Structure 1
Amino acid sequence: MDKLKPLITFTQKQQSNLGFGLITLLTVGSEHIFSAFAFKCPCNDWNFVYGNVCLLVPALALLILSYMLSNKTWKLVTGLCHRKYRLCRIRYAFGFLCVFLQITTTAMVAPLSWIAVALLKGVYFECSMTGANVTLFRHQLCSQKFPHCLTELEKFPCDGTSIPQSERLALLTIIRAESQVLGWLLIASVATFTFLLTCLARCYSPISYMQLKFWRMYSDKESDFLDSFTSQHAEKLAKRNLTSFFELTKPTPMKNPPKQAWEKISSFYKYRSMNDYYSILHKYVCTCEDLENPAARASVRSENEFSSPAALAFLDDDKIAL
């Protein structure tokens, strides 16, 4: 795992700087390898099922994997079973849904990239459509130019058949053209939706562009220092406990944040114009009257939980959770 840390760190930086461009590139490469070495249309009654499975199931797997690799997912669901009563509250449930939609929007990058590239290449769509047992579709696709189309359509994707090569290639060209049109329409739709959503989020941003830029820098630094402090404190605590165990001595006192404090800083945060807190941790340490008193720590409210506006989604950035 230690050997993978540089790669993980690089991937996280690429996600924040290039907007998941690296994920898209890896998805495109995976699709190319799969279609070149693993995909082979059966050219029988299984065409439709096989083509759709190869097109959609990897996309579903990438969606689930994206959920699993998102810190936001685990931040949202960890301890959820102990908060069932709160889900009945409309405000809480609405905030929960908003955060889940943010996670889903991010997670859709990889599966949509897979589907778009697969449609542009056309091999999965070609295999699927030649196996579609729909009379209306076959009559619309076939014409007098393709005499073997109605009865042997499922054999068209394969070489070495009795079907004339010119007829086979002409029909496959039509199907691949339809696939590419669908692919470009999908890409254009996703790009337009992403642009409009970003514009809408930035339009309703409660802060200016430069403050948003500063906030992003602060969020990155806080995340880095939190990992560093957590690692150092865990190392000290483990060393103290092991020393006490092997030397048969009482452990020296060490201060640790109580459970309630961890719960407070693990919630999502919404910026409000009446305060200047840049994160839930920032709010916690500034609003807690007595940090030495565990009871005071637990008294800090987090009414902003599950309310993270889209313009400030980077505050709870998705990073690989390993």
Structure 2
Amino acid sequence: MDKFKLLLSIAQKQQATLGFGLVALITAGGEQIFSAVVFKCPCSSWNFQYGLVFLLVPALVLLILGVILNNKTWKLLTGLCSCESECVCHFRGTCVFVQVCIQIFVSAAVAPITWIGVALLNGNYFECARTGLANVTLFGYHPCSDKAQPCRSELHLFPCKEFTVTVPPTERDAVMAIIRTESQVIGWLVIASIMTTFLLLTCVARCRSPISHVQLKFWQVYTQKENALLDQYTDEHAQKLAERNLTSFFQKTPPNPIVMPTREEWKQVSSLFYYSKKRQHYSMLQRHVETALCDPRRESTMSDGRAPPVVFDFADGGGLIP
């Protein structure tokens, strides 16, 4: 039981990392199945277009799906085009908007990057696309450069074993081995580039953090607890309001008063949060409680006039910084 609790504790602390790992694993498995069951190179003049579509379009679909499933996307966009919205009408709001967009796309890019990386390492899509470009040279060498002349003209037929070509089978296999090597080299370069970029983004975000590592861990725990309690309180108050309205409707009695947040208060606690050194708040909810409710006069002087750091993302459940 103690070991189970330890594993559960580790899983909760590394929830974001495990989530990204699970997404990558599912995407890699899906690519393998997709490549084996659906993909079949036409071995015609459509090789390049067909292979490129299977390589990039699923990645684009996964990217869009990741953006759609990210709660922060809709928190950012809801009410953005409203005439009353002022979230991007000044420098601070623009910085917050841009940083959140970057974080959304970084989180959503895990699946498409995995798809492209695994597909290039597998080589099927690239082989099909590459054989559709008989006159294109990669890495300073063409697969048919030291082969007989029919190699270039029949290159588009090489991925399909059922097609008969005049090129000897040994040369055909050698050309396909070179193309697969090109695919795998490009795949590793893509993976290494993405990992390096992610490492640099993480380092920059950490360096810009206005708080210490220990306080950062406290902030993450607080955000998780607040979100869980917010869901609980939302359910309870929604149930009370629904029960009161139904009771009043069926019994034909005046409704009992229920204290609820105003529309403006909902809007304030739903705004994107940024960290301020002047006042130690960990969420928009805490900021509203300790300023607008305790001392309304302080509501207009809460900011410190600086662009918000990336670390504000924790209050919105993001994961740019692990």
If the TM-score is normalised by the length of the shorter chain, which range does it land in?
0.7 to 0.9
- Name the CA distance, whole Å, in 2 between partners of 1:305 and 1:315: 19
* 1:5 equivalent in structure 2: none
* 1:201 equivalent in structure 2: 205
Residue 80 in structure 1 maps to residue 80 in structure 2: yes
Residue 95 in structure 1 maps to residue 99 in structure 2: no
Residue 156 in structure 1 maps to residue 158 in structure 2: yes
Cα shift at 1:31: 0.8
- Name the CA distance, whole Å, in 2 between partners of 1:251 and 1:231: 20
Inter-CA distance 229–286: structure 2 relative to 1 (3 Å threshold): same
- Identical aligned pairs, as a percentage? 49
Inter-CA distance 28–222: structure 2 relative to 1 (3 Å threshold): same
Unpaired runs of at least 5, structure 1: 1-10
Unpaired runs of at least 5, structure 2: 1-10
Inter-CA distance 238–85: structure 2 relative to 1 (3 Å threshold): closer
**SS of corresponding position for 2:133:** coil
Cα shift at 1:15: 4.6
**SS of corresponding position for 1:20:** helix
- Name the CA distance, whole Å, in 2 between partners of 1:305 and 1:111: 37
| Residues 63 and 111, structure 1, Cα contact 8 Å, conserved in 2 | yes
* 2:4 equivalent in structure 1: none
| Residues 54 and 124, structure 1, Cα contact 8 Å, conserved in 2 | yes
* 1:275 equivalent in structure 2: 279
| Residues 278 and 303, structure 2, Cα contact 8 Å, conserved in 1 | no
Equivalence map 1:230-269=2 (5 Å): 230-269=234-273
Answer with 50-59 or 142-151: which moved more: 142-151
Deviations 1:85-109, CA, capped at 9 Å, x for gaps: 7645344323322221121111111
* 1:118 equivalent in structure 2: 119
Cα shift at 1:287: 0.8
Answer with 203-212 or 48-57: which moved more: 203-212
Cα shift at 1:258: 0.7
AA matched with 2:26 = L
Equivalence map 1:125-204=2 (5 Å): 125-132=126-133, 134=135, 140-163=142-165, 164-204=168-208
* 1:4 equivalent in structure 2: none
- Name the CA distance, whole Å, in 2 between partners of 1:297 and 1:22: 47
| Residues 51 and 125, structure 1, Cα contact 8 Å, conserved in 2 | yes
- Name the CA distance, whole Å, in 2 between partners of 1:47 and 1:317: 43
User: What is the RMSD of the two structures over their aligned residues, measured on CA atoms?
Assistant: 2.9
- Aligned length in residues: 305
**SS of corresponding position for 1:41:** coil
AA matched with 1:238 = A
- Name the CA distance, whole Å, in 2 between partners of 1:93 and 1:178: 42
Answer with 83-92 or 219-228: which moved more: 83-92
- Give the alignment's TM-score, normalised by structure 2: 0.85
- Name the CA distance, whole Å, in 2 between partners of 1:20 and 1:147: 48
Equivalence map 1:54-69=2 (5 Å): 54-69=54-69
- Give the alignment's TM-score, normalised by structure 1: 0.85
Cα shift at 1:288: 2.0
Cα shift at 1:309: 2.9
* 2:40 equivalent in structure 1: 40
Inter-CA distance 305–122: structure 2 relative to 1 (3 Å threshold): farther
Inter-CA distance 172–305: structure 2 relative to 1 (3 Å threshold): farther
**SS of corresponding position for 2:174:** helix
Deviations 1:22-55, CA, capped at 9 Å, x for gaps: 1111111111111111111111111111101001
